[in-house]
Chain A
Amino acid sequence: MSDLLFFIEVTLAGLGSGALLSLTALAFVLIYKATRVINLAVGEVLMLGGYLFFAFASGLNLPAWAAIPLAVAGGGLVGAVLERGVIRPMLGENPISVFMVTIGIGSVLVGLVELVWGADPIALPAFMGNTPIFLGEAYVSRKIAIGFAVAAVVIGFFVLLFRTWRGGVALRATASDQAAAYSCGINVPGVFSAAWIIGCGTAAGAGILLGSIGGIAPTMGVFGLSALVVVIVGGLDSIAGALVGGLLIGLVEAWAGTYLGGEYKIVTTFGILIVMLMIRPYGLFGTTEIERL
């Protein structure tokens, strides 16, 4: 019985980190859907979000309710500047070049953060409390539970938004055929900007959640790599894929980490990636004719 309880606790923790993966994967998917760019700097924008929150909450002593929106907006601003300044001038270039540029952007962001805040890990000011939450008898860390709840609400909000808001229609149309969308009166450059702003803002928000659970460090951008596995498994252009893939990878990582040992966590994740690329390179929910990564 206690084995079952332990399994449930591990599963809940896995779902918690899976929700964060989903949120980060959503940033990849949004940006890819609109601009067909695989933005490898998502992980670094996520890290920057954590540091921005640290700067606003610790440096300026702002309360969490002000620091969080400011950090998310800061991430969005970074997205806007990157899209307008770096990505748009590269439209029509070889996708590999654009892909490489986003890797470069990631390195620059890491460098900037190290210059300003140093390379050592920092704990974020606590704003969630520490009292554990019990679901029945199963114990869940409060931070992970809150992280899961926030991620779920944000993802739910996005899904609703893209179903009902005409911006969602514009995004789908742009993803489907840019020239046709442009001629139908859809402001395609506006969709590009919006996708980068919303995507990077979402990543920054995920960074705050992740940082409040495990602290922030310039290297936390590697979380973006796990999220990249998620989008490849779920499908690069599928919001539902990001959702399901994130929870799936979160669960598998938690199970593998607990029952096989911590060193098997990454092996299992990337093992799934390799198998997925072999049997379904466009992902669980992706468009079949999508270019293979």
Chain B
Amino acid sequence: MLTRAPDARGGFVAGRGAAAGAARLQVEGVSLSFGGLKALRGVSFDVEPGSITALIGPNGAGKTSMFNCISGFYKPQQGAIRYDGQDVTKLHPPARAGMGFARTFQNIALFRGMTVLDNIKLGRHSHLKTNIFNAFAYWGRAAREEMELRAEVEERIIDFLEINHIRNSPVAALSYGLQKRVELARALAMHPRILLLDEPVAGMNREETEDMARFILDVKEEWGTTILMVEHDMGMVMDISDHVVVLNFGEVIARGLPHEVQRNKKVAEAYLGSGDPAALKAKLSGKPSGAKTVAGEVRA
């Protein structure tokens, strides 16, 4: 067991190294259906390393389905998800977590009944190397990993996200906004190279939203992590995203810089409707009229 000790250190070093890097994510022709319902139809887009990319679209557009394909909770029937060029479509979430994926959930998924610190520590679970035999020898490697983990967690993430005052509180007792922040902290403890945020500011008030937006920008700037987020708050999307991808009825209808997407007629129509019954009928019958040309225009 002693001979394996360097592995543990190696694991940590690799973990740290990974945190510094940013991953490129490519979604290539992903289709997903549940029975007869086609949630995604040939969706393709790229997330550039170190960028903040927002995935937007009206309710039911397939954003969360796309997100679950990327994080490994769903397996698309067609297409591929590439992570730094490597096909990860078939990998399950723990395998992806080990590679540098981390996500948050639309409906907060924290370990209730545990403290903030315990939740954050669990983020490092996939990177711990302690095995069953020396877990009992608490003062061996387990203790050292524990100390390193604690120091790392406490010094960086807790300070960074300004949650020092609640570190020992049970998460269930916290306000909604703080719970979201703890979820982000747990994701950061995973040393992600790509951070997937599912509606990070949903249900937050103005002040909480501004705080969260600042944290997300800081994550990008200080840690250089690639960020992909699904979000409904257009103000925030337009403020902090580098790139926006718009989904509607399971298809990409537009992509580009925030202000380009904002001016896109197709996008306005998806959100507000064109007011033209014939257009709506055509859309429901499954004949997307000119979606591709619009997307092309925006890209050009």
Q: Give me the interface of A with B, judged by CB distance under 8 Å.
A: 160, 164-167, 169-170, 172-173, 176-177, 179-189, 287
A164, A173, A187: the one contacting B122 at CB < 8 Å is A173
Residues of B contacting A170 with CB < 8 Å?
Answer: 125
Residues of A contacting B114 with CB < 8 Å?
Answer: 172, 176
Using known A-B contacts A184-B186, A185-B125, A185-B190, determine if residue A165 contacts B135 with beta carbons closer than 8 Å: yes
Residues of A contacting B94 with CB < 8 Å?
Answer: 182, 185-188
CB pair B123 A184 closer than 8 Å: yes
Residues of B contacting A185 with CB < 8 Å?
Answer: 93-94, 97-98, 125-127, 190
CB pair A184 B128 closer than 8 Å: no
Residues of B contacting A169 with CB < 8 Å?
Answer: 122, 125
Return the CB mask of B21-57 against A: 1 if under 8 Å, else 0.
0000000000000000000000000000000000000
CB pair A180 B138 closer than 8 Å: no
Nearest 6 CB-CB pairings of A with B: A185-B126, A185-B97, A180-B109, A176-B111, A165-B135, A182-B93
Residues of B contacting A186 with CB < 8 Å?
Answer: 94, 122, 125-126
Main secondary structure of the interface of B (DSSP, over half): loop
| B11 interface residue per 8 A CB criterion | no
Q: List 25 A-B contacts (CB under 8 A).
A: A164-B138, A166-B125, A166-B130, A166-B135, A169-B122, A172-B111, A173-B122, A176-B113, A177-B111, A177-B112, A179-B105, A180-B105, A180-B109, A181-B111, A183-B71, A183-B97, A183-B103, A183-B105, A184-B122, A184-B123, A184-B190, A185-B94, A185-B97, A186-B125, A186-B126
User: B142 → chain A, closest Cβ, in Å?
Assistant: 8
Closest to A187 in B: B94
B102, B112, B113, B138: the one contacting A183 at CB < 8 Å is B102
We find that the number of chain B residues with CB closer than 8 angstroms to chain A is 30
Cα distance A15–B94 in the bound complex, in angstroms: 43
| B160 interface residue per 8 A CB criterion | no
Closest to B136 in A: A164
List B residues 164-190 near A (Cβ within 8 Å): 186, 190
| B278 interface residue per 8 A CB criterion | no
Interface centre among A167, A181, A188, by most B CB within 10 Å? A181
| B272 interface residue per 8 A CB criterion | no
Return the CB mask of B1-18 against A: 1 if under 8 Å, else 0.
000000000000000000
Q: Give me the interface of B with A, judged by CB distance under 8 Å.
A: 71, 73, 92-94, 97-98, 102-103, 105, 109-114, 122-123, 125-128, 130, 132, 135-136, 138, 142, 186, 190
User: B16 → chain A, closest Cβ, in Å?
Assistant: 16
Residues of A contacting B128 with CB < 8 Å?
Answer: 166
Cα distance A160–B114 in the bound complex, in angstroms: 19
Residues of A contacting B92 with CB < 8 Å?
Answer: 182, 187, 189
Cα distance A186–B93 in the bound complex, in angstroms: 8
Residues of B contacting A176 with CB < 8 Å?
Answer: 111-114
A165, A177, A180, A188: the one contacting B132 at CB < 8 Å is A165
Q: A164-B135, A164-B142 are in contact. List 7 more A-B contacts (CB 8 A).
A: A164-B138, A166-B125, A180-B111, A184-B125, A184-B126, A185-B94, A186-B126
B93, B102, B109, B123: the one contacting A177 at CB < 8 Å is B109
Interface centre among A185, A187, A188, by most B CB within 10 Å? A185
Residues of B contacting A177 with CB < 8 Å?
Answer: 109-112
Cα distance A176–B109 in the bound complex, in angstroms: 9
Cα distance A184–B114 in the bound complex, in angstroms: 15
CB pair B125 A173 closer than 8 Å: yes
CB pair A179 B125 closer than 8 Å: no
